[in-house]
Structure 1
Amino acid sequence: MSAIKEYKCPACGGTMEFDSTSQKMKCPYCDTEISVEEYEALNESQTSEDKKSGQTEKSTKESTFVTYICESCGGEITADKTTGATTCPFCGNRVVLKGQFEGGLKPDYVIPFKLDKKAAKAAYQKHLEGKAFVPSVFKEENHIDEIVGIYVPFWLFDMETNALVTYDAERSRVWMSGDVEYTEHEFFKIERGGTMAFEHIPEDGSRKMEDDLMESLEPYDFKDAVPFKDPYLAGYVAERYDVEADECKKRAKKRAKASIKRELRDTVKGYSIVKPVSDNVKIQKASQKYALYPVWILNTTWRDQKYVFAMNGQTGKMVGDLPADKGAFWKYVVSRGLVIGVILYALMWLTVLI
């Protein structure tokens, strides 16, 4: 039976959280700060199993939820089976759920949050600026329902690729001789081959997160990754993977193959037309690691519709779909069309006059 793990302040007994600014465990009540390593050492020497805390399955075998007992207030915390860190809905206590990141489920690495909730709000407001076709009232009326810092599970893949690609290419030359226009066409068969190594290709390991949304948050800088320690989760929500590595590896291979083909295509220059004819891309080596990456999720509502925005908790990159003001869009298209029409009309008359 798994239990809840709390992070009590050694000075006042309050619940500590991981502070993204200081990169230390911090007590919001007495401002005590302690490094993750120091806190782990202190916690290991003092921790004893609380028999009252535990995990009980819901009544049906088909249920995907688990109930935990909060050690601070005794309230029930109901969480998805893949949730590894959450907040007690009764007392606000931030807890890590034991067993979710242990044994074979333990991540190899974690990139700690570098940016806080305030930075996420600021990035969201900046994201709305300069968007010509976003309704102006959306910026004023869109209501932020929730901002949550989530550690999202990612599988990271290292791969070595080898590729051989064949292209048909054409080069054309046009010239005038007297009143006669000549066109010369040259045709070529081109081959390009090479190898390329990839490190830490990230693939979202949670079915709760949209793959396209998570991919659009890239890149993450792996230099900030540290060996996983669960105190980094304190104060945040965390999910463990529910997509197996083999399934994610298929997506990573597609990305690696597309990248090497794109790089080889960029070396074919000086032709008017280039068409790929065949390609042979092989993955020679592949290895994987399991990591948690920081993401701020902003859930918003505007005119009864839900909009989701996400920010990379390391770099601050903000993404999310925005509504379009169709009236402003078509006004822009028509105005641009009129300008282009006037220019073409003027050029036509200049040609006639000449």
Structure 2
Amino acid sequence: MAEQVKTESFICPSCGGHMKWNIKKQAFECESCRTPGEVDLSGAGIVHHDYADYTDREAKSEGYPGETTAICRNCGAEITFAANETATVCPMCSSPQVDAQKQMAGVPPDGVVPFKVDKADAQEAFKKWVKSRWFAPNKLKESYQQGKLDGVYLPFWTYDAHTEAQYWGEGGTYYEDEDDEGNTSTTTVWTPVSGHVSADFDDIPVCDGSERTQDVVDGILPYSTEGGACVYSPAFLSGVGAEHYDKGAVECFPKAEAQMEATLRSMADQEIRHKGYDTANVKSLEMEHHDLTYKHILLPAWVSAFAYRGKEYTYMINGETGKVSGKRPYSAPKIIAAVIAGLIALFLIYNIFLKDAEAKEYTYPEPTVSVVEMQQPQAASTLVDDGGTGILWYSPAA
């Protein structure tokens, strides 16, 4: 049985209306009378935590309750929060509902990047994205017109580190040979190499939402998690959805470490080439992290789910920048129609070129040679070609 909890609904002290984050104004205020609320818009208080202490910190925190229910303070309806859901709106009266206690369970958020792209702008960005998708089903194009976008704060971990790496590999030098017949071939001679590279990583992001496809989330990155982040307050969640993290900073770190390794491998590759080699092959790399820290931050997104032929597709719009990402279905009728249209076009082009080629190959008849005999009894005569016309005339002899 789901645990029943009390939610925060952020009631206006002046008129009793609902307090929400006004995206256009970038301010927390009453949606009815515009009375301003108080939230810390600075990021000065955001803490970067020592990664080595994460396990102890999580163990000492309040347990995660899973699925919960609440009674709407506005209309009395029962609201169900999914296992990872921490903020929503009442399905009956649309009043904001935030399970603030659940959001703080485990390791609480350190910061939040507020929404800067409102629903109308997100719809427009989604509309342009959909229209640029070739062979998209009409049902997909209708989804943005019907307003099927939900605002949600997604849980992320970001990692900072100074990382040193020792690498081993090969540097390749190209040699070109030519045989007796003039044919050339290239041979690569490999030389063992090793070296050291290092880099400072700042806010490597990893999403920890249980219901989000990682590659879709990666497609809407980046966010300004340093300059654009504010100290976390549940007030930012009023009127939109939010999720609790699923795995934790330790389980998510390998994804961040993979990004770090890719960067260091690229640096090692370039360093080998700068040593005078034509190509490089980094075989192995050992990393050592220093000053490794993390923070828990909530990032804004607009989400649209679309079912097509029994399969669900998720689309996301970055709530800070408007960047769109998502996998899309293809319309078989549109593809077939395009193939048929393409074949018809090729057929027409072929016929045009064929007729043009036939016209160029047309052989005109050879000119005929006509000989005109003229009687010249008083003088001798000779045959003369009249200017290369092919007609021979008799001309009196000199």
Which TM-score tier does this pair reach, normalised by the shorter chain?
0.7 to 0.9
SS at match of 1:252: helix
Distance 1:321 1:246, change over 3 A: same
Q: Given the alignment, which residue of 303, 306, 326 partners 1:297?
A: 303
Structure 1: runs of 5 or more not aligned = 39-62, 340-354
SS at match of 1:189: strand
Q: Given the alignment, which residue of 168, 176, 195 partners 2:198?
A: 195
Report the alpha carbon displacement of residue 195 of structure 1 after superposing the two structures with TM.
Answer: 0.8
User: Match of 1:318?
Assistant: 324
SS at match of 1:217: coil
Distance 1:198 1:88, change over 3 A: same
User: Match of 2:125?
Assistant: 123
User: Match of 1:31?
Assistant: 34
CA distance in 1, matches of 2:186, 2:85: 66
SS at match of 2:252: helix
Instruction: Tell me the C-alpha RMSD between the 2 structures.
Output: 3.3
Distance 1:171 1:91, change over 3 A: same
| Further displaced range: 259-268 or 243-252 | 259-268
Q: Given the alignment, which residue of 234, 239, 243 partners 1:235?
A: 239
| Further displaced range: 298-307 or 324-333 | 324-333
SS at match of 2:120: helix
Distance 1:141 1:3, change over 3 A: closer
Distance 1:105 1:162, change over 3 A: closer
User: Match of 1:171?
Assistant: 173
Letter in 1 for 2:67: F
CA distance in 1, matches of 2:221, 2:34: 33
SS at match of 1:224: coil
CA distance in 1, matches of 2:212, 2:258: 20
SS at match of 1:100: helix
Q: Which has the higher strand share?
A: 1
Instruction: Give matches, 1:78-117, under 5 Å.
Output: 78-102=80-104, 104-117=106-119
Q: Given the alignment, which residue of 143, 160, 163 partners 1:158?
A: 160
Report the alpha carbon displacement of residue 160 of structure 1 after superposing the two structures with TM.
Answer: 2.1
Distance 1:187 1:314, change over 3 A: same
CA distance in 2, matches of 1:164, 1:328: 55
| Further displaced range: 236-245 or 302-311 | 302-311
Q: Given the alignment, which residue of 5, 8, 24 partners 1:5?
A: 8
Q: Given the alignment, which residue of 206, 210, 213 partners 2:213?
A: 210
CA distance in 2, matches of 1:6, 1:280: 50
In the alignment, is the contact (CA less than 8 A) between 1:295 and 1:313 conserved in 2?
Answer: yes
In the alignment, is the contact (CA less than 8 A) between 2:136 and 2:328 conserved in 1?
Answer: no
SS at match of 1:26: strand
Letter in 2 for 1:213: V
In the alignment, is the contact (CA less than 8 A) between 1:174 and 1:181 conserved in 2?
Answer: no
CA offset digits 1:63-88 (Å, max 9, x no partner): 95211111111211111243221111
What percentage of aligned pairs have identical amino acids?
26
CA offset digits 1:147-169 (Å, max 9, x no partner): 11111111111122211222323
CA distance in 1, matches of 2:337, 2:160: 46
CA distance in 2, matches of 1:66, 1:180: 79
CA distance in 2, matches of 1:12, 1:151: 28
In the alignment, is the contact (CA less than 8 A) between 2:5 and 2:69 conserved in 1?
Answer: no
SS at match of 2:215: helix
CA distance in 2, matches of 1:109, 1:19: 18
Report the alpha carbon displacement of residue 302 of structure 1 after superposing the two structures with TM.
Answer: 4.6
CA distance in 2, matches of 1:169, 1:334: 49
| Further displaced range: 177-186 or 297-306 | 177-186
Report the alpha carbon displacement of residue 121 of structure 1 after superposing the two structures with TM.
Answer: 0.6
User: Match of 2:268?
Assistant: 264
State the structure with more CA Rg: 2
CA distance in 2, matches of 1:135, 1:107: 38
CA offset digits 1:194-242 (Å, max 9, x no partner): 1111111111122122222222221111210011111111111111212
Kindly tell me the number of residue pairs found equivalent between the two proteins.
Answer: 314
SS at match of 1:36: coil
User: Match of 2:282?
Assistant: 276
Distance 1:273 1:71, change over 3 A: same
SS at match of 1:259: helix
Report the alpha carbon displacement of residue 306 of structure 1 after superposing the two structures with TM.
Answer: 3.3
In the alignment, is the contact (CA less than 8 A) between 1:134 and 1:322 conserved in 2?
Answer: no
Letter in 2 for 1:10: P
Report the alpha carbon displacement of residue 301 of structure 1 after superposing the two structures with TM.
Answer: 4.1
User: Match of 2:253?
Assistant: 249
Structure 2: runs of 5 or more not aligned = 42-64, 350-398
Give the structure-1-normalised TM-score: 0.77
Give the structure-2-normalised TM-score: 0.69
User: Match of 2:138?
Assistant: 137
SS at match of 2:251: helix
Report the alpha carbon displacement of residue 176 of structure 1 after superposing the two structures with TM.
Answer: 5.6
CA distance in 1, matches of 2:338, 2:282: 36
Letter in 2 for 1:89: P
Report the alpha carbon displacement of residue 267 of structure 1 after superposing the two structures with TM.
Answer: 3.8
CA distance in 1, matches of 2:141, 2:160: 45
SS at match of 2:212: coil
CA distance in 2, matches of 1:182, 1:37: 69
In the alignment, is the contact (CA less than 8 A) between 1:145 and 1:301 conserved in 2?
Answer: no
In the alignment, is the contact (CA less than 8 A) between 1:170 and 1:273 conserved in 2?
Answer: yes
